[in-house]
């Protein structure tokens, strides 16, 4: 790195390391002074007129040495990068967004950030059906060439990443520094994404999770993407924030409908009422994005039905078990587990056995009792479904 490039990078980092100086204020300073170096070198009165407090000006003059050293070191590794708004590698779609991060810290393939992306987001505590649907959509669309972008949270985000990795590439946008994994349970997933896709964050190395970080992460997810698909979400889900950002940014918003008895379908139904496009096949989504995908996916975009989810059913069941809001209180844990595995759509005996790990005799016995108690109904075609609450 030349001395000039090093000086420019240090100026960018000084801006993003200044506490209280978020992306919008940094962009305002850049507009006012023309460059990060000019902003950092501006007089105290000029910075005060630009809205900086005394504490901000002091922090800008003397950035945290440890944080600065860590951020500079991040740029030196073969598999990492630091992209500023003026870097030609900075994703142009994100650069169009008001409040775009001035600096991105990347591990993995930074070139993916300029590829056509679809954001897939949803509940941290999805149903087994939600996990299966998300995995199938992500795998099918990634196989056609779309990069799948999500937030590496538990649940739907993780299913989207794993589905994409089955057949293509994925980007995880973090609410921590690029060297931190949150939740910790996704450490192996993060390693795989770094090796086969990209991890990206606006927060410098060493920064841990904070509540204020995740709305900013959501803005980046939608800003990177041509559109956002919500596959399963409660009415107050954080994924709806991502959808709102996408709408404000002029990007497409898609939602997959679900059972009216599924609480985690209500967020999607609300989005549809507000104007999101109802999606029940990958072909519909591709048709909506077709004008923006010309020259990218070419003949790969052909009619077809998304493949069945390759997600291990027992793993999906373990994820679904974390949601207790949709199972009746007062039942033993095993019965709660069976109902969680049943989800909100008709299922066969074999599907329940695969999802729960119970034997056929155990499932049959429990279904009989649940039917007598009014929790389950026997449906045509040898299927079973939950009764209306």
Check: CB of residue 325 under 8 Å from CB of residue 262. Answer: no
Q: Which of 70-74, 130-134, 281-285 has the lowest mean pLDDT?
A: 281-285
Residues above pLDDT 70, as percent of the chain: 89
Please give the pLDDT value at position 297: 62
Which of 61-65, 198-202, 284-288 ranks highest by mean pLDDT?
Answer: 198-202
What number is the average pLDDT over the span 312-328? 40
pLDDT digits (tens, 9 = 90+) for 295-306: 666 444 443 444
Check: CB of residue 42 under 8 Å from CB of residue 118. Answer: no
Distances (CA, A) of 19 to 23, 34, 36, 59, 291: 11, 21, 16, 7, 41
Please give the pLDDT value at position 51: 93
What number is the average pLDDT over the span 260-264? 87
Distances (CA, A) of 101 to 243, 246, 283: 18, 16, 33
Torsion of CA 196, 201, 204, 210, to 10 degrees: -120
What number is the average pLDDT over the span 43-65? 95
Please give the pLDDT value at position 333: 84
| Domain 110-300 in CATH 3.40.50.450 | yes
pLDDT digits (tens, 9 = 90+) for 165-180: 999 999 999 999 999 9
Please give the pLDDT value at position 148: 98
Mean pLDDT of the chain: 88
CATH topology of domain 327-386: Arc Repressor Mutant, subunit A (1.10.10)
Residue 316: pLDDT over 60:
no
Tell me the pLDDT band of 41, cut-offs 50, 70 and 90: very high
- CA–centroid distance for 159 within its chain: 10
pLDDT digits (tens, 9 = 90+) for 335-365: 888 888 888 778 888 888 888 888 887 888 7
Residue 324: pLDDT over 70:
no
Residue 10: pLDDT over 80:
yes
pLDDT digits (tens, 9 = 90+) for 196-249: 999 999 999 999 999 999 999 999 999 999 999 999 999 888 899 999 999 999
Please give the pLDDT value at position 343: 82
pLDDT digits (tens, 9 = 90+) for 221-235: 999 999 999 999 998
What number is the average pLDDT over the span 6-20? 94
pLDDT digits (tens, 9 = 90+) for 135-163: 999 999 999 999 999 999 999 999 999 99
Please give the pLDDT value at position 305: 41
Residue 122: pLDDT over 80:
yes
- Copy the structure tokens of residue 332: 């033993």
Please give the pLDDT value at position 187: 97
């Amino acid at each position: 790195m030349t001395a000039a490039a090093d000086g420019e990078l240090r100026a960018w980092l000084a801006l993003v390391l200044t506490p209280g100086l978020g992306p919008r204020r940094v962009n305002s300073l850049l507009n006012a002074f023309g460059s990060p170096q000019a902003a950092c070198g501006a007089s105290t009165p000029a910075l005060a007129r630009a809205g900086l407090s005394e504490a901000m000006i002091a922090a800008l003059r003397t950035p945290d040495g440890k944080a600065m050293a860590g951020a500079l070191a991040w740029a030196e590794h073969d598999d990492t990068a630091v992209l500023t708004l003026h870097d030609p590698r900075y994703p142009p779609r994100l650069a169009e967004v008001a409040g775009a991060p001035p600096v991105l810290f990347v591990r993995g393939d930074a070139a993916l950030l300029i590829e056509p992306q679809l954001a897939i987001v949803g509940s941290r505590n999805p149903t087994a059906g939600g996990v299966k649907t998300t995995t199938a959509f992500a795998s099918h669309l990634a196989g056609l060439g779309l990069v799948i972008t999500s937030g590496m949270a538990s649940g739907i985000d993780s299913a989207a990443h794993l589905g994409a990795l089955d057949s293509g590439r994925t980007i995880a946008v973090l609410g921590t520094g690029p060297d931190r994994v949150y939740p910790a349970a996704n450490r192996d997933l993060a390693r795989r994404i770094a090796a086969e896709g990209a991890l990206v964050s606006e927060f410098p190395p060493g920064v841990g999770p904070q509540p204020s970080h995740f709305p900013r992460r959501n803005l980046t997810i939608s800003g990177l993407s041509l559109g956002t698909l919500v596959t399963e979400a409660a009415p107050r889900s954080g994924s709806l924030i991502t959808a709102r950002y996408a709408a404000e940014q002029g990007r497409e918003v898609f939602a997959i409908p679900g059972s009216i008895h599924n609480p985690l379908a209500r967020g999607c139904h609300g989005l549809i009422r507000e104007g999101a496009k109802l999606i029940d096949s990958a072909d519909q989504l591709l048709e909506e994005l077709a004008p923006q995908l010309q020259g990218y996916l070419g003949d790969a975009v052909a009619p077809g039905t998304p493949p069945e989810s390759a997600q291990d059913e027992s793993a999906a069941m373990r994820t679904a078990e974390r949601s207790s809001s949709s199972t009746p209180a007062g039942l033993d844990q095993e019965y709660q587990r069976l109902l969680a595995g049943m989800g909100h759509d008709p299922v066969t005996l074999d599907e329940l056995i695969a999802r729960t790990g119970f034997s056929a005799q155990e499932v049959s016995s429990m279904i009989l009792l649940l039917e007598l108690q009014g929790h389950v109904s026997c449906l045509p075609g040898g299927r079973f479904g939950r009764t209306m609450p």
